[in-house]
Structures are given as structure tokens and as C-alpha cells.
Amino acid sequence: MKIAIAADHGGYKLKEEIKPYIESLGHTVTDFGTYSEDSVDYPDYAAPCARAVVSGEMDRGIVICGTGIGISIAANKIKGVRCALCTDPVMARLTREHNDANMLAMGARIIGGELARGIVKAFLETDFSNGKRHMDRINKITELERAK
Ligand code: RB5
């Protein structure tokens, strides 16, 4: 798959650590920045990464900040994004199975590299269940976007 990745300064190091791991799983990575630990604003990196996912240019997106909270909130403002902040591989598996999440957020100040790799693997390797009840709920989320 084509994976878009982005981080702020708080997530920069984990982004750099995770990129070769994603490639080792057989995916291609496009890096939307940031490219150093200089202070930046996470919405500026979440938005282009998220737009690349909803446009279909990229298959999935991964965003990282200090907590994962700010960058996930920002990504979820882009219509069509379902970005899940995950702190363990079970959450990553379930958000793929139940929510068909197209973006993953992680907090570099919350989790370490080994845990992040487990989360990323689960996120990238789990298919949506296609269960009717889950599809109905996702459709209701899409309706909420339209109602805004
Ligand atoms: C940046 O200092 C920090 O606020 C950011 O990385 C993130 O944790 C916000 O949610």
C-alpha cells in the first residue's frame, strides 16, 4: 500500500524510526514532514497528509505528535478521514475491523518504538470486517460530516 506519514516536532523522531519499518512490511512511504525537531504546528502537517488519503493518492495515513491527540483531532477535520489514536495493537486491529480507520495517530511521548511498530503492523495488516452493523455506523459518521 501507499502510506502517507506526517508528524510535528514531538513526533519527528518516531516518524523517522517507523518509516523503514513500514517499508520492511512491503509498503511505500511518502513523508509529509516535518523534517526536524524544530517547533512546528501539527495541523500544518496533519492536513496535507489527510488530504492525500481522502483524495485516494495514498491508501492510508499515519500521523504522530507528542500525545497523538492534537494531530488526530486535526486529521479528523478533513472530510472522509477516520483517524484513530491508538496506544496498543489491539486498538489498531479493532479500529480497522470496526471503524475502517483510514488513518492512525500515535503519541511519541506516550509509547516507545517497539510498541509503535506493533501498532503500525496491526493497523496495516488488518482488513475491515465488512460487518453490516459496522458499515451502518460508518455511514452515520459520514452523514454527520454532511450535516455540518
Ligand atoms: C507539541 O508540544 C505538542 O503539543 C504536540 O506534539 C501534541 O502533543 C499535541 O497534541
**Cα 34 to ligand 1 centroid, rounded to whole Å:** 13
Q: Which amino acid would we find at residue 97?
A: E
- Angle among Cα 127, 50, 56 to the nearest 5 degrees reads 60
> Relative to the CA of 69, which ligand 1 atom is closest?
10
Per-residue model confidence as pLDDT tens digits over 55-81: 999 999 999 999 999 999 999 999 999
Selected catalytic residue, list 9, 27, 86, 98: 98
Confidence of residue 148 (pLDDT cuts 50, 70, 90): low
Residue 14, pLDDT above cutoff 80:
yes
Return the residue whose CA atom lies nearest to atom 8 of ligand 1.
Answer: 66
Q: Which residue has the cell 509498503?
A: 27
The helix-helix angle for 132-147 and 89-99 (nearest 10°) equals 80
Q: Report H helices in 25-86.
A: 43-54, 69-75
Per-residue model confidence as pLDDT tens digits over 82-126: 999 999 999 999 999 999 999 999 999 999 999 999 999 999 999
**Cα 67 to ligand 1 centroid, rounded to whole Å:** 6
The predicted structure's pLDDT at residue 21: 98
**Cα 109 to ligand 1 centroid, rounded to whole Å:** 9
Per-residue model confidence as pLDDT tens digits over 18-47: 999 999 999 999 999 999 999 999 999 999
Tell me if residue 86 is catalytic: no
